[in-house]
Amino acid sequence: MTDTLSSPAKPRARRRSTGREPLTRDQLVASAIAIADAEGLDAVTIRRLAADHGVTPMALYWHVKDKDELLDAIAEHLFATMVLPEPSSRPWTDQLREIFAAFLVSVRPHPEVAGLAMTRIFGSPAGLEVTERTLAELRRGGFTVERSSDIACYALAALIALVRAEPACGPNGVKSEEATRAKRALLTSLPHEQYPNVVASSDTLAGRSSRDSYFSLGLDLLIGGIQANAPKRAAKSA
Amino acid sequence: MTDTLSSPAKPRARRRSTGREPLTRDQLVASAIAIADAEGLDAVTIRRLAADHGVTPMALYWHVKDKDELLDAIAEHLFATMVLPEPSSRPWTDQLREIFAAFLVSVRPHPEVAGLAMTRIFGSPAGLEVTERTLAELRRGGFTVERSSDIACYALAALIALVRAEPACGPNGVKSEEATRAKRALLTSLPHEQYPNVVASSDTLAGRSSRDSYFSLGLDLLIGGIQANAPKRAAKSA
DNA sequence: ACCTGAACACCGTTCAAGT
DNA sequence: ACCTGAACACCGTTCAAGT
């Protein structure tokens, strides 16, 4: 659950009389993510984090310069959990899809913090890695340098949007469910003549459960769009 | 500049001795957007808004229930400025593109508040309108009800992501420029063997100026992807 | 109808100090 | 090295009251 963050938890030479392990940056990041997942990003607060660890708010400033640096660290961790596919000689579109899928695998479980990723991709090595790999495949696909980077930006942004737009969204747990019901009720109660399609889709729009099909459709749209705009080297069939 | 929000500004029967026009909800929304554009969404604060209008913070609560309701109103205004194309008999893909383009036209000038739109589309009539129109065209394209609504969600989310990922981003104005330079410097200084493509693209990645080509490429990718995944009715040429 | 004043429970952050 | 205490300048919001 705490994946790469969990540390041995062996009491390591407690320095003084405090009966508590010293905090670590990784612990802070881990519980920040946990709080965000459960109660939303707004619930992630210096003071809250401190309280959860039985410590004074100002203690955190030893491990982290800023709240912003904490958010950076969260984003970095998201990227760090990502396992990219080995480069291979398969078609560039297939490779791209796998890269994007890998990205989704690590971001999808944490929709609340996904938004942080957008502005912070270039801050972490792992983020640079995805970008590099994405650019490389786009170049292989024949796009110019400039178009490749535009597309890479779009693609990463779209993937994050895909995650954030997901229905299970809103802090996971209790209230999400009833919020979904309320939203559905609102949509079904709309004037049918004015919004026939919205009403017909109200189930799916209000909060379809976190379906794999939604994400694989997202990947299809993304890859399909890129492929459709790729320069054609030779006139292949179809 | 204040487009639909600007009101006549004629002194309308001042009630009592206060030498000031009574506030209006629309004025609040207008200056909230202006503040967000200039200094970022975080700068939009009940107290700041009050100060700008020479009024006590609590005065705002007469016009607005909540800060959240204020944010709702901002999103609503974004949608409301949108002018959708008249339905026509042209190909559904062309229509879709125009709808999305119209969406971009109203959201693009306000990247800082674009994120608000995502969760609030179904809250406003104008937001429902875009959704309805989008769904209708997708149905025309032959998608099932369920896939249509998944795609509509994805598309709107992607458009917003497109705007937010845009470079001119970060509160417009002074500091954006130097932030861009710093980012570019960081990217160019990266180990060239490890991130060859990132380095080569550093100009474009760091902050290409707000280019129309970026957005039209985004539309191409979006529409291309949708079209590529549309059920084919008959085997047309190509 | 429209706004003020005082008060409350929260924020992030600095700075000097403790062990 | 790691943490505390007190203090500061901010938040959003409630409630009773003014005109």
* Percent of chain B's residues with pLDDT above 70: 84
Question: What are the residues whose beta carbons fall under 8 Å from the beta carbon of A132, sequence distance 6 or more?
Answer: B194, B195, B196, B197, B198
Query: Closest residue by Cα to the C1' atom of nucleotide D3?
Result: A59
Rg over CA atoms, chain B? 22
Amino acid at A97: R
Q: What percent of chain B has pLDDT over 90?
A: 75
- CB spacing of B132 vs A208 below 8 angstroms: no
pLDDT of residue B20: 74
Could you tell me the pLDDT band of residue B208, with boundaries at 50, 70 and 90?
Answer: low
Angle at B195 between CA B190 and CA B198, to 5 degrees: 85
Alpha-carbon distance B136 to B140, whole Å? 6
- Mean pLDDT for chain A? 88
What is the reported pLDDT for A9?
37
Cite residues whose beta carbon is less than 7 Å from strand C. A 16-17, 44-48, 57-58, 61, 66-68; B 15, 18, 20, 22-23, 50, 55-56, 58-59, 62-63
B230 contacts chain A (CB < 8 A): no
Tokens of B183: 């980012």
**pLDDT tens by residue, B97-127:** 999 999 999 999 999 999 999 999 999 999 9
The yes-or-no verdict on residue B171 having pLDDT over 50 is yes
**pLDDT 10s per residue in chain A (238 long)?**
334 444 443 344 444 455 678 899 999 999 999 999 999 999 999 999 999 999 999 999 999 999 999 999 999 999 999 999 999 999 999 999 999 999 999 999 999 999 999 999 999 999 999 999 999 999 999 999 999 999 999 999 999 999 998 766 566 655 677 788 889 999 999 999 999 999 999 999 987 656 889 999 999 999 999 999 999 875 444 4
On average, the pLDDT of chain B sits at: 88
pLDDT at A230: 97
- Note whether A221 contacts B151, CB cutoff 8 Å: yes
Q: What average pLDDT does the segment B25-49 reach?
A: 97
- Tell me: the pLDDT tens digits for B192-202? 999 999 999 99
So what's the pLDDT on residue A209?
59
The two three-digit tokens of residue A130, written as one number = 């995805």
pLDDT digits (tens, 9 = 90+) for A202-231: 999 987 656 889 999 999 999 999 999 999
pLDDT at B232: 84
For B117, the token pair is 């739109």
Estimate the crossing angle of helix A125-140 against helix A92-107, to 10 degrees: 160
- The span from the CA of A152 to the CA of A147, in Å, is 8
How many angstroms is C1' of C17 away from CA of B3? 56
- For B67-89, write each residue's pLDDT tens digit: 999 999 999 999 999 999 999 99
CB contact under 8 A, A165 and B118: yes
- The residue behind tokens 């597309």 is A151
Which tens digit of pLDDT belongs to each residue from B185-194?
Answer: 999 999 999 9
- pLDDT reading at B17 higher than 60: no
The protein footprint on chain D, as nucleotides within 7 A of a CB, is 1-6, 10-16, 19
**Range B168-174 average pLDDT:** 60
Nearest neighbour of B153 by CB, restricted to A165, A197, A224: A165
